[in-house]
Amino acid sequence: MACFDVKLDTRFEKISTLHPCFGGKANMTRGRVHLPVSPACNIQCRFCKRTFNKSEQRPGVTGELLSPQAAAELVDKALELCPEITVAGIAGPGDTLATPHALKTFQYVHERHPELILCLSTNGLLLERYADALYEAGVRTVTVTVNAVDPTVLKDICSGIVLDGQKYEGEEAARILIAAQLRGIKKMSDLGAVIKINIVLIPGINQHHIGEIAETVKAHGASLINIIPLIPQHELSHLPAPNCHELMEARSAAELYLPVFRHCQHCRADACGIPGKQDLADLLYATRNIPETFSHG
């Protein structure tokens, strides 16, 4: 039983029954299609190594990059393959707000399929800036990756950001990113969107910071937490992956403030089907599976 004392709002209660990445029951009965339209990112996480291929099974990877119009048309095929799809999401392969492609795609998809839940995954740097346009385009669920709310912690996870053509590094970059994330979360929540927070659990860096993150994002309007174990690679390849005990402790710390989602499949940016049951990406995108090598949700 969860140890938090939270009255879930009606928005989250409804979404959790329809969105496979926001509710455990929906994870086995509802489908989603990810549309890979976002080519670039505006921050650099130390565990992230972005790439394009048709083999790796991890977020941030796709076999091809689609135009917004082509992505919207692909939703028709996805619905034919999997009528249980309730969500059209964009989760990369870069950040969804670093380029205008995701917003254009949502506009096209919403026009063609207003019945679908539109879902955005972002690092949050530009979320406040585009919140109104996203909501107008039909986006009602947003996942923001928040790995720390203390700049002295985040500087060891995110090495830098690029904002309006200016590069920032270290604690300065961390302060800017954290402030932008929290403003964006509040703005989207105030508009009426349901917000999930992804946290990459990194032993020795943020494992004792999880409760503070959860408490802070809750205060800004988040409804759900998803804790993703680090998969050691890139600049953090020397760190161990969190063990089961560390993962349990992190989830317990977060659950003092918000519900914790425990069914994440670490999907590719071109995933399709029912996450806990059916994978149709091979039919839609001609991808192959190999061992997971990424930890960014």
What integer pLDDT is reported at residue 49 of this predicted model?
Answer: 72
Q: What is the mean pLDDT of residues 82-108?
A: 92
What integer pLDDT is reported at residue 34 of this predicted model?
Answer: 87
Beta-bridge partner residues of 198: 145, 226
- pLDDT digits over 133-180, tens only? 999 999 999 999 999 999 999 999 999 999 999 999 999 999 999 999
Could you tell me the two tokens for 75? 């939703």
- pLDDT higher than threshold 60 for residue 3: no
- How far is the C-alpha of 153 from the C-alpha of 162, rounded, in Å? 19
What integer pLDDT is reported at residue 25 of this predicted model?
Answer: 61
- How far is the C-alpha of 40 from the C-alpha of 21, rounded, in Å? 24
What integer pLDDT is reported at residue 97 of this predicted model?
Answer: 97
List, in order, residues 6 or more apart from 203 with CB less than 8 Å away.
230, 239, 240, 241, 242, 246
- How far is the C-alpha of 159 from the C-alpha of 15, rounded, in Å? 34
Q: What is the mean pLDDT of residues 117-132?
A: 97
- pLDDT digits over 189-217, tens only? 999 999 999 999 999 999 999 999 999 99
- pLDDT bracket for residue 276 (50, 70, 90): low
| CA-wise closest residue to 68 among 102, 119, 96, 41 | 102
- Between residues 9 and 224, which one has the greater pLDDT? 224
Percent of the chain with pLDDT over 90: 62
- How far is the C-alpha of 80 from the C-alpha of 70, rounded, in Å? 16
- Between residues 214 and 17, which one has the greater pLDDT? 214
Strand 224-229 relative to strand 194-201, pairing? parallel
In sign, the C-alpha dihedral spanning 187, 188, 193, 198 is negative
- Between residues 11 and 7, which one has the greater pLDDT? 11
- pLDDT higher than threshold 80 for residue 95: yes
Q: What is the mean pLDDT of residues 249-278?
A: 79
Domains along the chain with CATH numbers: 10-285 (3.20.20.70)
What integer pLDDT is reported at residue 62 of this predicted model?
Answer: 53
What integer pLDDT is reported at residue 162 of this predicted model?
Answer: 97
What integer pLDDT is reported at residue 280 of this predicted model?
Answer: 72
Q: What is the Cα 102 distance to its own chain's centre?
A: 14
- How far is the C-alpha of 25 from the C-alpha of 83, rounded, in Å? 17
Q: What is the DSSP string of 181-238?
A: HHHHHHHHHHHT-EEEEEEEE-TTTTTTSHHHHHHHHHHTT--EEEEEE----GGGTT
Of all helices (H) and strands (E), which one includes residue 108?
helix 101-112
- pLDDT higher than threshold 70 for residue 63: no
> What is the gyration radius of the CA atoms in the chain, in angstroms?
17
| CA-wise closest residue to 175 among 186, 183, 187 | 183
Contact 105, 38 (CB under 8 A): no
- pLDDT digits over 18-53, tens only? 676 776 565 566 888 889 899 899 999 999 876 544
**Averaged pLDDT score across all residues of the chain:** 85
Percent of the chain with pLDDT over 70: 78
What integer pLDDT is reported at residue 9 of this predicted model?
Answer: 64
List, in order, residues 6 or more apart from 20 with CB less than 8 Å away.
26, 27, 28, 29, 30, 31, 32, 86, 87, 263, 274, 275, 276
